[in-house]
């Protein structure tokens, strides 16, 4: 089994920054790609950022230039650096990883952007 645990969420003022972390543990033989998703109240879950094994990164248009996804393979950890946060970024952020040809999700961490 594989477990994903997110951390780093919280309350931040507009224009502020947060860094989310997602630690993978368990029987990990291969990680194909990892990503961050978010779900705002009353909305569908959406892909925010994705990073592939070869290092290619993709972002949803609304976060380009503000968010940066990265991974530390030695620590099996995924990060999301979020800068210039806006109230529209308020959501539960989930980590997802394709590990051993199966998809795993974390339980999420809440990010609230408000003054």
* CA separation for the pair 93, 20 (Å, rounded): 9
Give the pLDDT confidence score for residue 29 in this predicted structure.
84
Q: Which has the closest alpha carbon to 95: 44, 45, 53, 28?
A: 45
Give the pLDDT confidence score for residue 8 in this predicted structure.
97
How big is the CA angle at 72 (ends 61 and 34), to the nearest 5 degrees?
45
Give the pLDDT confidence score for residue 85 in this predicted structure.
98
Q: What is the mean pLDDT of the chain?
A: 95
pLDDT above 80 for 53: no
Asked whether the beta carbons of 94 and 5 are under 8 A apart, the reply is: no
* CA separation for the pair 65, 49 (Å, rounded): 12
Asked whether the beta carbons of 58 and 34 are under 8 A apart, the reply is: no
Angstrom distances, CA of residue 65 to CA of 3, 17, 28, 89, 110: 30, 13, 32, 14, 22
Mean pLDDT of 65-85: 95
Mean pLDDT of 62-89: 96
pLDDT level of residue 30 (50, 70, 90 thresholds): confident
Q: What is the percentage of the chain residues whose pLDDT exceeds 70?
A: 100
Q: What is the percentage of the chain residues whose pLDDT exceeds 90?
A: 87
């Amino acid at each position: 089994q594989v477990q994903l645990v997110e951390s780093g969420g919280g309350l931040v003022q507009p224009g502020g920054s947060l860094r989310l972390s997602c630690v993978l543990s368990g029987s990990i033989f291969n990680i194909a790609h990892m990503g961050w998703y978010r779900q705002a109240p009353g909305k569908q879950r959406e892909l925010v950022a994705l990073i592939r094994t070869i290092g290619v990164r993709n972002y949803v248009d609304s976060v380009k230039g503000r968010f940066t996804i990265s991974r530390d393979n030695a620590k099996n950890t995924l990060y999301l650096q979020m800068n210039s946060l806006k109230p529209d970024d308020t959501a539960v952020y989930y980590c997802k990883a394709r590990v051993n040809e199966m998809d795993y999700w974390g339980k999420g961490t809440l990010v609230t952007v408000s003054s």
